[in-house]
Structure 1
Amino acid sequence: MNRTLTVARMQFVAWRTVVGWPWGILALSFLINLALFGAIGEEDFEPTTGGLMSIYVVMFVASISAITMDFPFAMGLGVSRRSFYLGNVLHFVAQAVSYAAVLYLLAVIEEATDGWGMNLRFFGIPFLMVENPILRYLGFAIPFLLLGFLGIAIAVVFKRWGMNGMLTLSAAALVGLGGAAVLITWQGWWSAIVGWFADQPGGAILVGWPALLTLPLAVISYLIIRRATP
């Protein structure tokens, strides 16, 4: 357990990557959107941006970096693969819980100020604004975990099989997604799929389905890292 906590704390040594860059880029994105839509100045205009995704993208990249850069160092210190994996899981869970709390608070402030005085929806994305406060909070937290474990899975594939593994994974993803697109187009299922997604509540899209995808990614990542080499 001590080794697991050590690995988790080790991630915060590079605090600029863990804290500085995610929130710095999010703040920059927010200020740009604030200036842009403030310059438009139309009272009846209610802009909704995708700028909130910037913090999730940065954390996804950081999760890949945490494995590829820190894994050899941790192995050199005698940390077991199990402790290294659990330490990173603990780190990402703590980030998801704390970062989601801040985003939730910012969404509440945004709602209370009528979109920062200009009807801007940056943190309070419409389909995320569910009535249940717990689902609303999880809607911020679960995507962090999904992208974190996706990043870990990609990184451990690279550590286990190198560039050949990454190219194989990319080819498999291309064939799978391309084959699915061909099949859907051939069968004329696009309208039904779009309609199905449109009928899904915000809680299902941002909490339920991402949670279901996160669990197998966590298991697969653990199984692969057990045989990964520094």
Structure 2
Amino acid sequence: MNRALTVARLQFVAWPSVVGWPWGILTLSFLINLALFTSMNETIDPTPTTGGLASIYVVMFIACVNSITQDFPFAIGLGISRRNFYLGNVVSFGVQAIIYAAVLYLLSLVEEATGGWGIDLTFFGIPFLWVENPVLRFLGFALPFLLLGFLGIAIALVFKRWGVNGMLTLSTVALVVIGGAVVLATWRGWWSAVGGWFADQSGAALLVGWPALLTLPLAVVSYLIIRRATP
């Protein structure tokens, strides 16, 4: 376990990629949106909503991919086992998800208290996915971090294990599955039913329940792959 904690601390040596870039880009996105909607006439969009919050999740996804492609060979070269490297990454990313979700939760409260930063701007929340329960709202910020993090780790490990052929195979499978689903839904006229299903889901289900169910198999698959991955 000590070796796993060493790996976790190793992730923060390159702090710009795991702290600086995610929060720097989120801050820039927020300031741009704030300036944009402040300069607009209120009659154009009286209650502006933006998806700028997604930027921090995208950057953290990239950081998780980077942690495998760059840090994995270095850690194995130091004699750290694959198991400890994987556990160390899980610990470090789990801590980040908890801390970052707590900060985003507090910022959402500030946003509410200030009337959307004085202009009714919704940046740290999505109205149709809003969760009133404090615990579920916090998890609604944290679980997407974990889902995208394990997705990034899994994709990076496919590359480390099977190289370019593995990535091409993964891309082909994804294309066939997604494309096949789109064709089938169009052919059978299921799009209205699909839209209705999403509309019937609560914010807690979409931000907490489903991400939790998808994160677990990704974590298991990632662990199985890393056991045979080459640096």
Matched ranges for 1:111-122 at <5 A: 111-122=112-123
| Deviations, residues 96-138 of structure 1 (Å, cap 9, x unaligned) | 0000000000000000000000000000221343221000000
Q: Is 1:65 aligned with 2:66?
A: yes
SS in 2 for 1:227: coil
Q: Which residue of 2 aligns with 1:76?
A: 77
The AA in structure 2 aligned to 1:198 is: A
Which deviates further from its counterpart, 58-67 or 125-134? 125-134
Q: Which residue of 2 aligns with 1:15?
A: 15
| Deviations, residues 22-52 of structure 1 (Å, cap 9, x unaligned) | 0000000000000000001316710110000
What is the CA RMSD across the aligned residues, in angstroms?
0.8
Q: Which residue of 1 aligns with 2:38?
A: 38
1:160 and 1:189 mapped to 2: Cα distance?
38
2:112 and 2:222 mapped to 1: Cα distance?
38
Q: Which residue of 2 aligns with 1:138?
A: 139
- The normalised TM-score by structure 1 is 0.99
The AA in structure 2 aligned to 1:172 is: V
1:53 and 1:124 mapped to 2: Cα distance?
10
Q: Is 1:173 aligned with 2:174?
A: yes
Q: Which residue of 2 aligns with 1:207?
A: 208
Gaps of 5+ in 1: none
Provide the identity percentage. 77
- The normalised TM-score by structure 2 is 0.98
Does the 8 A contact of 1:146 with 1:214 survive in 2?
yes
Does the 8 A contact of 1:158 with 1:165 survive in 2?
yes
How many pairs does the alignment contain?
A: 230
The AA in structure 2 aligned to 1:56 is: Y
SS in 2 for 1:13: coil
1:127 and 1:11 mapped to 2: Cα distance?
35
The AA in structure 1 aligned to 2:8 is: A
